[in-house]
Amino acid sequence: MMEEDSVPRVLVVEASTADLYIIDYYLYPHFEVYAAETGEEALMLLKKMVFDCVMVDADLSDCKSGDLIESIQTHFGPVPVVLLTGISRTIGHFVTPINGVSTCVNKDMITNDQLLKTLWEVLEHSPVLCSMIDPKN
């Protein structure tokens, strides 16, 4: 859980280096951003650190985003999750909600202000921020 004087810690799970760079650029210095390029890498980081929010790309190369989100919710508590989608996934298609997702963001059309507003709203409306399970289990 974040302390009052600290900035929220966000884990961004995104295989695209360019998208990671843009998201990090938009969020700094308002958020402490950590990056994972795969679901496996994300789970390793979640075992080591507490995050206030996790942003997950809808199209990960090593696993299904829904499976990763379910694993995050099961093992690390009710951490807010923002699903990152692309324009090709959202135009003309109804995006089925995934259990555990706070909101979706179209990363191809997002602006700095929109992304910041979305994350602040997700954190504000989240009753419980991420808490880690006992690493011995």
Tell me, yes or no, if the pTM score tops 0.85. no
Q: What is the pLDDT of residues 105-133, one digit of tens each?
A: 888 888 999 999 999 999 988 754 333 32
More reliable by pLDDT, 48 or 96: 48
Helices 17-27 and 112-125: angle between axes, nearest 10 degrees:
70
The region, left, alpha or beta by phi > 0 then psi within -120 to 50, assigned to residue 67 is alpha
Tokens representing 114 are 């929109």
Which domains does the chain possess?
9-125 (3.40.50.2300)
Q: What is the pLDDT of residues 72-114, one digit of tens each?
A: 988 998 899 999 987 655 444 445 556 778 888 888 888 999 9
